[in-house]
Structure 1
Amino acid sequence: LSPVLTFEKDFPLKFPLLKVTQECVRLTKEIHTISKDVSKSDKDPQACLTVSYTSEPSTSGSQDTVQATSFYKSQPIIEFMCEVLDILDVNEQRERLPDSQRVKFAKEIKGLKIESIHCGQRRKYRVCNVTRRPARMQCFPLQLEDGQTIECTVAKYFLDKHNMKLKYPHLPCLQVVQEHNYTYLPLEVCNIFTIQRDIKKLTNLQNSSMMEVTAQSVPDCEQKIDDLIRKTDYDNVPYVQKCKSNNSDGRIEASRQRLSPAKLQYDGRKKQEALPKRGVWDLGGKQLSNFTAVEIRVWAIACFAPKSVLKDDLRNFVEQLQKISGDAGMPIIGQPCFCKYATGPDQVEPMFRYLKSTFAGLQLVLVVLPRGESRIYGEVKRVNDTVPGMPTMLVQAITVVKALPQRLSNLLVKISFKLGSVNSTLAPGVRQKVFNEPVIFLGADVTRPPAGNSKKPSIAVVVGSMDAGPSRYSATFRMQHNRQEAIHELSSMVRELLIMFYKSTGGYKPLKIILFRDGLSEEQFSAVLKHELTAIRDACAKLEADYRPGITFIVVQKPNRVSCAYKRKMPWKFGSIPTGYMIPDHITHGTASYTQLFDFYIYSNQSTRGTSRPSQYRVLWNDNPFDKEELKCLTYHLCHTGVRNIQSVSIPVPVYHAHLVAFRILYHLVERVHDSGDGPLQDLSRVIRGRFRNCNTLANPVSFKLLLKVALTEERGFKAVTKFVKEDEKAFLKVKVAPMNVALRKPGPKRIGEGTSNSDNSKDGTLSKDGAASFYVDTKKVMHFP
């Protein structure tokens, strides 16, 4: 249905669909009904029903689903400011707002629609800025009747023009219309415009509230969709009949296929295998690799949740953690050398520097965070990367209080990864033929700034596998224009990852490149594929003229409008489809089109709350001799190779790591904001505080710390002012990273410089006894890297 309905003069208007839509709020192709049971705090998500008509083609027609979004409350701006800034009583705020509070308020209200109430007729505006000066000091040029122009304050103008003495002249004004125009409104004469969708990024607490409101089981979700379709009565709508659209309430029965499970191998003192069950596997009795002779003796705890975590909770947490760590082969011995409470983010850096200078050989710092506190999290991440030699592990307060064995096992896996370990790899019995030759898996993503912020740049990240696990990954990133979807400097980024792969594997070049690309919509497929495929080819040609590895280009999407359910009731909570199931037809494109070869859906992780959603994979390019089934199974298995947890993830691990790197970089972008009522809001500089370029940020955190330690002692400029379109590469300090010690070669063909005769000691595509893939490559094909 069109978002805007036009009717003929004699067209009957009495039908259920029109009645339903008149009670709703229309947003593009969606209609929303505002729930009466909503929270009263600022910007808290409100449960809203959404009827969505997907625009993407499907062999089964339109798809109806139920979704939720959040709206702003219609309220005075003064109340909105108090909720944003946690001001209990505005009458007690007798001084002008500090710059920190003003900037926070400006970020929340910028871009919102407001209405003025001081005149008889209410006028609508869109906020573009918040003035630095209060209303009693903010001036603007006022033209008198005789043509003379004088400087007049906002408070005096309202007193003379509207006979209104402002109650809060010490508060700033809202700058509306255009920033170069001088149109200012005091806060007390404005209201938030009614029914306005919140398109900005929600906070952690707001996301939790949204999940509590919208989490529903599969039967409940089906019932709501059925009630909505029955209420609208599509079949009796004349326009629907004219379009000959079949909107029966029957569901489509799609075929399903169960993929072979991904079996994982732990390389501890004795090799053990783990078989995931519904996307989760148990660590009990399994030894984490590379920790047979390592003990954590010097460690500390910094608790930033004094209200929710008591001393007894910390004691119980330490006891349980030590018990499970001993079973996992990574014993945490003794009491922490430091265990103190802290309150705010300003205490993070002094505490870390105190620990660094006081306790020699400190191996680990556990940081306990309160629920929904993102400021402390960001500060810990920033200080963690700028104070070398301080491995940290952040823990939620609820994890410390409950101390559940499953959560503590997952925590130990993350700790071992932080200290440079490879916990698990794919077991030899489930490996596909693609691992018989050197192959690199790339994950690419462009993280854009939140909606409503058009000045921040986008972060383009490419992550590549560095071994045959695949379990080790390295990352590279660039800054680019915030509305540029294709990765502008993909050629140089892929070239860096190929060199890292060559060094870490002891001289092997990948014969296959499999790229998982996230963050694309269907209309961008053709342009992005043309640009990025050419960039990858160019990166290979720069390394060696005749180097032409096979490239597979797969777009990863997480569609929100696809919901599937079993015909029979599932015995577990919420009744979602279990992991490992794939949907190959009916709701897919079915055959090749001008934008893609084929597509499929996979349920790769189990939803903990609500109805699980599958991930959609669209194969846009494939030079490699993969059949469809092999590529589907490979994609599913790559969702289990994350070494930082004991459960599968919803997307392949290379793309998952690309997301992690992008969000980590966000905490190192220091934004200096300078604004006033006299000019536009300008971001003067964004300075990269973390030195991520050419670093094995995910592959080897320990070597990354050492690299930072060397980098911070150099007498060179580190501050790289990031431009919107292209970064200044000369501003970065180029430090060579030592290759990782990853033994992937068995006796066979020698590397360049060791001779050219082939050996018969290994066969093409064999696996060594320890389960690691043994690459067999002709020496004539080995790449000559600079």
Structure 2
Amino acid sequence: MSSSNAAPEQTGQLQMPGPPKRYPMARPATGSAGQPIKLLSNHFHVVIGCPDAVFYHYNVSIKTEDGHAVEGKGIGRKIMDKLYETYSSELARKSFAYDGEKSFYTVGPLPQNIFEFLVVLEGSSARYRGGTADGGSPSGSGRKRSKCSHLAKTYKVAITYAAKIPMSSIKLALKASESEQAQDAIRVLDIILRQEQAKRGCLLVRQSFFSATNANCTDLGGGVSGCRGFHSSFCATQAGLSLNMDVSTTIVLTPGPVIDFLLANQNVREPRYIDWVKAKRMLRNLRVKTRHTNMEFKIIGLSEMPCSQQLFTMKVRGSSVDGETMEITVDKYFANHHNIELAWSAHVPCLNVGKPKRPNYLPIELCTLVPLQRYTKALSGQQRASLVEKSRQKPLERIRVTSDAVKNNLYDQDPMLASCGISIKKELISLDGRVLTAPVLKVGNMEDCIPRNGRWNFNNKRLYDPVRIGRWAIVNFSARCDLSYISRELINCGRIKGIHIDQPLSLLEEDRRWVRAGPVVRVEKMLASLEARIKEKPQLILCVLPERKNCDIYGPWKKKNLHDFGVITQCIAPGRINDQYLTNVLLKINAKLGGINSLLAVEHTPCIPLINNIPTIILGMDVSHGSPGRSDVPSIAAVVSSRNWPFISRYRASVSTQAPKVEMIDCLYKSLPDGKDGGLMRKLFLDFYRTSNYQKPQQIIIFRDGVSESQFDQVLNFELNQIIKAYVGLGGSELPKVTYIVAQKTHHTKLFQDGRHENVPAGTVVDTKVVHPRHYDFYMTSHAGVIGTSRPTHYHVLLDEIGFAVDDLQKLVHSLSYVYQRSTSAVSLVAPIYYAHLAAYQMSQFVKFEDADNSSGNESNADGNAAVPELPQLHEDVEASMFFC
């Protein structure tokens, strides 16, 4: 961007040396603003009795006798346990911690640096020996599988010294010194915790563990359950080393008969109604146990024929002819050899638990799902709602449960922890917090609105800057509702809130002929009917959907209107229509059409430190990924930016696709063949310039969501360098000052009021004790927790070239939780991040229900990799709007 008031143009990049590598900044100070409050946190103080202890790291290689590498943490742990049982004297009887893969740790060295062992592992398994089927399950190979309860298998285990990890590195880290080995030492401590839970038969998911007791599981419907367990991890904090203990939940298959799972999963009453193509996909790789042999198998598929017709070849017992074979059906085999008469499963496919070229069939009615099998597919809206409802815990209950977990797990008795002098206190850490004063809001007629505990309302109030809606229509996709009533009530509610709404141009019901058609067809027919009724392009279309969640019409409807026609739409699925519901709908509509619902009083004054006097753009950045298990769905990167400086309440979005499951945003700057920039940031910088009195931003405040601490260096260097490159590419002669803040919600630190059984008040901030010993971070609970236990947002200030005072920066973050135009309550994250998330989600619906463009997803680029489909661009009439609101 040029420094004059002329519009910025593409001028080519300045010839500059590469930027120096940036590192997360150190904490400059702690804040002091706000009302003091006594708090507790679910961190437990850890005493290090032997700070001079040293962990020795060894690499582990496990192979079969024929040299194939052994994979799988379950079998790895069994082999290493057997190794210790057999060769403990060779290992000097030292306890060890094994991560289940390739790393092995001891306190102090082993007698030598290289070991090679042969480990014989016995267990209930099956082995082909030629003949009839073993284990009570027929094999289609013509060979016999003989049932043996204790078959032995030999493994070669090599242990090689790798490195020393001194416990003293943790001590250095706690003193706010840089220590590269501190995280390694803490990781070893976490592995010790995980190993102990693995020995108890728990399911391990990253740093959480789950046991299969009925008290821990709640049915969510569809054959899946929510399983409650615990997260446990060691943390280096200002208060010293601590153990963070929290309640955690994962989704598992409901154990029990396989048929019960299939009936529940497909919501049918009898086996004859099961969709076996869908069942095959769902059952693949699940583990089952047989009722008649108590043996465990993994499902690889289903038989092509039902049990009564599926043939396999087996050896004839007692035949005088050597090697004589016969063909027999699965149901007859079980009747003749196991005295089991199959009931209903004789008429449905068998489970195939063999190998791809060596099938092995089991009747479904003899099989049950083993416990603690994770369910990684996307949950339905009803299942998600049930999970949230059943996993909520009030603060007092969460305190009790986490405290009991620390006591009951008997960590102090673990031999590895004891050998390095680790002991864990049983009381939650107490700390001091502060409650920041809520910002004053401006609403209609310049009236002050003062939130109370993070909430306010528009009762007897008007919106700050209401729009006028002259041309609009309502369409109904066959939901049961009265469009005339909705129209009348919306107009009346709008008048009270200051929005003048004319009578709608059309109230259009869906033609019943198209109700059973596909979603794209239904949308096209509806819009064609609407176009035939009204000749002038409407400002707004209110769309009534038949389902409240996951309606398949939503994506095609949004794409058609925002991409093809450039019309703002608002979708509703009304249950009970009242003033609060209509007010919430009008808040969204007013923001989408360019109005402002409320404004921070400091914006109107204006008096925001370091922002009002210097042109400043605020960015919110997020990446939305496809459903779990869908590696073919592109990720959606979204960036929103503030406009109309010095205001900080209005935003616009720029969105793009990128490779699936990639968290780094790689399209902030994109060099096109003609030398121009086609990245996300170009439009946002230009928009700021045009809406901010033709001033280029001299300061950039970035809020980034969704990255872990291990990715801080990447966002601080790779992503920020792209942003600077886009800025320079528009003619910037001086680099802007940047403040870069990462917001994390997926952490396990909770805050509680000391001595009170309720959530912390809105505006609670903590920047002592449980924060990082050196880096600049703080926890903020900006919202009011009504149900369950509030989760604070963990903010990490990676860079602050602008130079905010600590209190000023925390007040800015707090204030940005009050500019979310869709709501009359403070939100738990700053609004720019919420907007980025909404924009990414809404644009993801454009590709989710693609019909004609599906083939493009199968194309490859020059490298032979699958090409990432481009997002349809927003129509120019709506691209600068808050369409995502």
Q: Is the 8 A contact 1:479 1:724 kept in 2?
A: no
Alignment of 1:619-638 (within 5 A): 619-638=797-816
Separation in structure 1 between the aligned mates of residue 469 and residue 878 of structure 2, nearest angstrom: 25
Change (3 A) 1:298 1:509: closer
Query: Residue in 1 aligned with 2:772?
Result: 589
Query: Residue in 2 aligned with 1:35?
Result: 214
Q: Is the 8 A contact 2:634 2:868 kept in 1?
A: no
Alignment of 1:469-484 (within 5 A): 469-484=647-662
Query: Residue in 2 aligned with 1:519?
Result: 706
* AA matched with 2:450: L
Separation in structure 1 between the aligned mates of residue 94 and residue 873 of structure 2, nearest angstrom: 71
| Aligned counterpart for 1:215 among listed residues 386, 392, 400 | 392
| Aligned counterpart for 2:447 among listed residues 259, 265, 272 | 272
Aligned to 1:69, what secondary structure does the other structure show? strand
TM-score by length of 2: 0.64
* AA matched with 2:288: E
Aligned to 1:496, what secondary structure does the other structure show? helix
Residues 113-141 of structure 1 show CA distances to partners (whole Å, capped at 9, x for unaligned) of 233759968453365x889x8779x9999
* AA matched with 1:486: M
Alignment of 1:415-430 (within 5 A): 415-427=589-601, 428-429=604-605
Query: Residue in 2 aligned with 1:64?
Result: 245
Query: Residue in 2 aligned with 1:531?
Result: 718
Residues 146-196 of structure 1 show CA distances to partners (whole Å, capped at 9, x for unaligned) of xxxxxxxxx998689989999779978888899x97869788486544321
Residues 245-272 of structure 1 show CA distances to partners (whole Å, capped at 9, x for unaligned) of 3422222122212224222223x4x222
The answer to whether the aligner puts 1:249 opposite 2:426 as a matched pair is yes
Residues 261-311 of structure 1 show CA distances to partners (whole Å, capped at 9, x for unaligned) of 222223x4x22232222222211233224436x2557542626554xxx76
Q: Is the 8 A contact 1:54 1:561 kept in 2?
A: no
1:548 deviation in Å?
A: 0.6
TM-score by length of 1: 0.71
1:380 deviation in Å?
A: 4.1
* AA matched with 2:765: M
Aligned to 1:499, what secondary structure does the other structure show? helix
Aligned to 2:272, what secondary structure does the other structure show? helix
1:436 deviation in Å?
A: 1.9
Separation in structure 2 between the aligned mates of residue 659 and residue 723 of structure 1, nearest angstrom: 31
Q: Is the 8 A contact 2:354 2:361 kept in 1?
A: no
Query: Residue in 1 aligned with 2:164?
Result: none
Separation in structure 2 between the aligned mates of residue 721 and residue 302 of structure 1, nearest angstrom: 46
1:337 deviation in Å?
A: 4.7
Alignment of 1:159-308 (within 5 A): 188=364, 192-235=369-412, 237-266=414-443, 268=444, 270-291=445-466, 294-295=468-469, 298-300=472-474, 302=476, 305-306=479-480
* AA matched with 1:115: V
Q: Is the 8 A contact 1:135 1:186 kept in 2?
A: no
Change (3 A) 1:372 1:106: farther
1:546 deviation in Å?
A: 2.5
| Aligned counterpart for 1:577 among listed residues 760, 769, 780 | 760
Change (3 A) 1:223 1:727: closer
- Structure 1 unaligned residues grouped into runs of 5+: 145-154, 593-597, 675-682, 689-719, 743-786
Separation in structure 1 between the aligned mates of residue 845 and residue 642 of structure 2, nearest angstrom: 24
Separation in structure 1 between the aligned mates of residue 618 and residue 219 of structure 2, nearest angstrom: 45
Aligned to 2:690, what secondary structure does the other structure show? helix
Question: Highest relative contact order (Cα 8 Å, sep 6+), 1 or 2?
Answer: 2
* AA matched with 2:795: Y
Query: Residue in 2 aligned with 1:601?
Result: 779
1:550 deviation in Å?
A: 0.9
The answer to whether the aligner puts 1:48 opposite 2:219 as a matched pair is no
Query: Residue in 1 aligned with 2:493?
Result: 324
Query: Residue in 1 aligned with 2:857?
Result: 686
Change (3 A) 1:508 1:651: same
Deviates more, 1:536-545 or 1:549-558: 536-545
Residues 339-366 of structure 1 show CA distances to partners (whole Å, capped at 9, x for unaligned) of 7588777445433432343245554324
| Aligned counterpart for 2:823 among listed residues 627, 645, 669 | 645
1:471 deviation in Å?
A: 2.8
Query: Residue in 1 aligned with 2:324?
Result: none
Separation in structure 2 between the aligned mates of residue 50 and residue 233 of structure 1, nearest angstrom: 14
* AA matched with 2:461: K
Aligned to 2:429, what secondary structure does the other structure show? coil
Query: Residue in 2 aligned with 1:509?
Result: 696
Equivalent residue pairs, number: 658
1:59 deviation in Å?
A: 3.6
Change (3 A) 1:370 1:244: same
| Aligned counterpart for 1:89 among listed residues 267, 270, 279 | 270
* AA matched with 1:586: K
Q: Is the 8 A contact 2:566 2:875 kept in 1?
A: no
Q: Is the 8 A contact 1:722 1:728 kept in 2?
A: no
Separation in structure 2 between the aligned mates of residue 558 and residue 416 of structure 1, nearest angstrom: 29
The answer to whether the aligner puts 1:431 opposite 2:608 as a matched pair is yes
Q: Structure 1 or 2: larger strand share?
A: 2
Residues 207-242 of structure 1 show CA distances to partners (whole Å, capped at 9, x for unaligned) of 111122122211121122233333334445554433
Q: Is the 8 A contact 1:480 1:726 kept in 2?
A: no
Q: Is the 8 A contact 1:370 1:397 kept in 2?
A: no
Alignment of 1:692-771 (within 5 A): none
Change (3 A) 1:386 1:163: farther
Query: Residue in 1 aligned with 2:298?
Result: 125
Query: Residue in 1 aligned with 2:624?
Result: 447
Residues 679-728 of structure 1 show CA distances to partners (whole Å, capped at 9, x for unaligned) of xxxx854399xxxxxxxxxxxxxxxxxxxxxxxxxxxxxxx999967658
Separation in structure 2 between the aligned mates of residue 231 and residue 500 of structure 1, nearest angstrom: 58
Q: Is the 8 A contact 1:75 1:191 kept in 2?
A: yes
Deviates more, 1:335-344 or 1:370-379: 335-344
Q: Is the 8 A contact 1:289 1:424 kept in 2?
A: yes
Q: Is the 8 A contact 1:503 1:739 kept in 2?
A: no
Q: How large is the RMSD of aligned CA atoms in angstroms?
A: 4.7
Query: Residue in 2 aligned with 1:747?
Result: none
Query: Residue in 1 aligned with 2:641?
Result: 464
Separation in structure 2 between the aligned mates of residue 583 and residue 18 of structure 1, nearest angstrom: 33
Alignment of 1:131-150 (within 5 A): none
The answer to whether the aligner puts 1:115 opposite 2:288 as a matched pair is yes
1:383 deviation in Å?
A: 4.5
* AA matched with 2:214: S
1:441 deviation in Å?
A: 1.1
- Structure 2 unaligned residues grouped into runs of 5+: 1-45, 47-54, 56-72, 96-194, 316-326, 337-341, 670-678
Q: Is the 8 A contact 1:479 1:723 kept in 2?
A: no
Separation in structure 2 between the aligned mates of residue 213 and residue 490 of structure 1, nearest angstrom: 40
Rg larger in structure: 2
* AA matched with 2:780: I
1:28 deviation in Å?
A: 4.1
Q: Is the 8 A contact 2:297 2:353 kept in 1?
A: no
Separation in structure 1 between the aligned mates of residue 447 and residue 840 of structure 2, nearest angstrom: 34
Q: Is the 8 A contact 1:670 1:687 kept in 2?
A: no
Deviates more, 1:40-49 or 1:216-225: 40-49
Aligned to 1:285, what secondary structure does the other structure show? coil
Change (3 A) 1:537 1:298: closer
1:49 deviation in Å?
A: 3.1
Separation in structure 2 between the aligned mates of residue 185 and residue 642 of structure 1, nearest angstrom: 57
